[in-house]
Amino acid sequence: MAEESREEGGGGGVVEDGDEAGGRPGKDGGSGGAGRGRDGNNGISTWEIEEMEDEAGPASLAPPAAAAAAAADVYVAVGKGGSSMEALSWALRRLASPRSFVYLVHVFPVVISIPTGLGMMPKSQANPEQVETYMNQERSKRRVMLQKYLDHCRNFQVNVDVYLIESDHVADAILELIPVFHVQQLVLGVSKSNLRKFKRGNTIAGQVQKNAPLYCEVKIICDGKEVTTVPTADPTPPISPSPVNNKSNSISPTPLSPAPDHNNSAVADDDEKETNPNERNKITKYLKCFSF
């Protein structure tokens, strides 16, 4: 995340109540394409996912990894608030194991204006140098914010990657990621002040839990403890809604990230259930990945 001004987002999106890259790297430590790979056993590669307008000829994703390996992966939504760290700590203690991969998912808003000496100015009207300076500042803020989560994962000696999603609709962005990577374990934090709203389904965490497919187990953590509720789940993976038109300025297509590949030599079982190809195409039309 010094790429071209392909990134449209800034600031740190909230998931709380709480050089371009190719494919997603495998668990053997190699990188799926250009960009930063892993450094040793606990190295980190970060991929940014950007909403974009529909393009012709959506690329297909690789088949899901073996069911046992995918089930060991843990996805944790993180943001600026303290509930995110509590959720990550809970996930590392209760769900993660040495063979697990922990994926940190952070949603940040689309930038439509930037600060100038004359006040806020639409990004499209700002000087390119001003835009680049502001974008670099926002990237730096995200790095600082995410570093504490990365360090915490290193302390538990687990493999960790980061997914950055640019969207103004946090719950939708997370829900659309689930069928793309066949997420089976997802953890979100909710603050005490928002716990009552969560139980009424009026928070990001509540929306995600309510609308996640049954194959994805969503854990909600408040104050270091799991919040036990009876979720209202859709028995089938949700069809991705039409992408929000955020007027992305991306022009050059970048390779889409494949589904998790925990072993480059491993082949998914023949009877393994894959994501519906039509559903996958609807999602990947507007998801792009590039390095952090």
pLDDT band at 68; cut points 50, 70, 90: low
In a domain, 27, yes or no: no
SS (H, E, C) the chain: CCCCCCCCECCCCCCCCCCCCCECCCCCCCCECCCCCCCHHHCCCEEEEEECCCCCCCCCCCCCCCHHHHHHCEEEECCCCHHHHHHHHHHHHHCCCCCCEEEEEEEECECCEEEECCEEEEHHHCCHHHHHHHHHHHHHHHHHHHHHHHHHHHHCCCEEEEEEEECCCHHHHHHHHHHHHCCCEEEEECCHHHHHHHHCCCCHHHHHHHHCECCCEEEEEECCEECCCCCCCECCCCCCCCCCCCCCCCCCCCCCCCCCCCCCCCCCCCCCCCCCHHHHHHHHCCEEEEEC
In a domain, 212, yes or no: yes
Task: Identify the CATH number of the domain in which residue 117 sits.
Answer: 3.40.50.620
**pLDDT score at 73:** 92
In a domain, 35, yes or no: no
What tens digit of pLDDT does each residue of 87-127 get? 999 999 999 988 789 999 999 999 999 998 888 999 999 88
In a domain, 31, yes or no: no
In a domain, 113, yes or no: yes
- Would you say residue 25 has pLDDT above 90? no
In a domain, 5, yes or no: no
In a domain, 34, yes or no: no
% of the chain at pLDDT higher than 70: 51
Q: Please count the structural domains in the chain.
A: 1
What tens digit of pLDDT does each residue of 235-270 get? 455 444 444 444 433 323 333 344 444 444 333 333
In a domain, 244, yes or no: yes
- Would you say residue 21 has pLDDT above 50? no
Under a CB-based contact definition with an 8 Å cutoff, are residues 266 and 63 in contact? no
Between 203 and 174, the more confident residue is 174
Domain range holding 239?
40-291
What tens digit of pLDDT does each residue of 33-49 get? 333 334 444 455 556 66
